[in-house]
Amino acid sequence: MEGLFVQLLVIGIKILVILGVVLGLGAYLTWVERKVAAHIQRRAGPMVVGWHGLLQPLADGLKLITKEDIFPRTGNRFLYNLALVLALVPAVLVFAVVPFGPEFEFFGVKVKPILTDVNVGLLLVFALGSMAVYAIALAGWASNSKYALIGSMRKAGIIVSYEVVITFAVMGPVILAGTLSTYEIVQQQINQKLWYIWLQPIAFVIYMFAMLAETGRVPFDVQEAEAELVTGFTVEYGGIKFGLFPLVEWYVEVLSLSAIAVVLFLGGWSPINIPFLGFVDPLFFLGPLSPFVWFVLKVALLFLFVLWLHWTLPRYRIDQITETAWKVMLPLTFVNLVLTAVLAPIVWR
């Protein structure tokens, strides 16, 4: 009985930590994004509220919450609100299968820093990640507005194309690791002394492309396209409801897909890797904390990379985006699969 209680307590604490970190961080990443964007464009960015604008997200949140809740008269209120829930829940659920570090002992209780280590974790990630499309399709339909509908149709087209691509891209690491569990994939990379990016560069690049497309980041943000569609499917939303969609799409989803990229290609919480030889850890002085720091560092690096692209590139047209997916990326993933099949025995030995 005692064991069960401790287990439930551990699960509860994990859920609270994940929710707090993800949603809190999500809000604060708006500040990071504005700062990075400003410095890319040689501006200072938010400076007024707090030291270097550090309190800006709180001010923004207050402003959004206290705004009037406007609703299009001919829309469908139930679906309009349901779309919000459908956007937020799957995006946060993905973090249930993200492993943040190695197993550790805390007051005699063994804790794996992952909510559920399902043996098909990776499939769940992509199933849940792609469910965002329903939120967007519903938001577009329930608003009963042309701009919103066009935006949502575009986004659905993109997700349908890139979901296929991303699933085939991650098959390479899965073959090398021989498992679908996210925790085990990292363990395998540590055992084999190999980050899979060294053998899967094509898959990694394609994964990054597909990640940008699924999260609606530049150069694939045609569903927003503020110049032509005035921010697409969110156009009829107001106040905090308007704020929630970018929060989910641009921050929570980018974070979760970056974390999965780190798990699949960059060896999760392992330090710098020399292929087949071992690991070099310049952060050894942090002791047992170093794996967690490594994980956060890698995710932060990928996130900054996404921001860098976002504020540098122009956007593609919708037909160019889907054509690249089907005609370039998908064949490339097939080539990669064949290459992986040839290379896999070297890794398995």
Partner 1 sequence: MMQWVAFLFFASLTLLSALGVVFLSNIIYVILSLLSTLVMVAGIFFVAGAELVGALQLLIYTVAIAVFYVLVLTAVPWEKALKKDSHYRIEGVLTFPILLAFYLEIILVFLIGVSVSPKGQIREFIQNLGNTQVVGSILFSKYFFAFELVSLVLLVGMIGAVLIGRKEDKTYEDSTS
User: Given CA atoms 93, 97, 102, 108 in this order, what sign does their dihedral have?
Assistant: positive
Nearer to partner 1, 153 or 254 (CB): 153
Q: What does the alpha-carbon distance between residue 247 and residue 269 come to, in Å, rounded to a whole number?
A: 26
Nearest by Cα to 113 from 272, 302, 281, 268: 268
Nearer to partner 1, 266 or 325 (CB): 325
Q: What does the alpha-carbon distance between residue 233 and residue 210 come to, in Å, rounded to a whole number?
A: 20
Nearer to partner 1, 71 or 134 (CB): 134
Least separation in angstroms between residue 100's CB and partner 1 is: 21
Nearer to partner 1, 23 or 127 (CB): 127
Least separation in angstroms between residue 53's CB and partner 1 is: 39
Least separation in angstroms between residue 29's CB and partner 1 is: 26
Say how many C-beta atoms besides its own lie within 10 A of residue 236's C-beta.
20
Nearer to partner 1, 168 or 295 (CB): 168
132, 90 contact by CB (below 8 A): yes
Nearer to partner 1, 36 or 137 (CB): 137
Nearest by Cα to 71 from 61, 62, 83: 83
Least separation in angstroms between residue 245's CB and partner 1 is: 17
Nearer to partner 1, 157 or 271 (CB): 157
Nearest by Cα to 19 from 181, 240, 300, 252: 252
Alpha-carbon Rg of the chain, whole angstroms?
Answer: 21
Least separation in angstroms between residue 28's CB and partner 1 is: 30
Binding-site ranges for partner 1 (CB under 8 A): 74, 76, 79, 82, 118-120, 123-124, 126-128, 130-131, 133-134, 137-138, 140-141, 144, 149, 152-153, 156-157, 159-160, 163, 167, 179-180
Write the burial class of residue 282 (CB in 10 Å: 0-12 exposed, 13-18 middle, 19+ buried): exposed
Least separation in angstroms between residue 149's CB and partner 1 is: 7
E strands present in the chain: 104-106, 109-111, 272-274, 278-280
Least separation in angstroms between residue 163's CB and partner 1 is: 7
Cα angle value 11/182/87 (rounded, 5°): 70
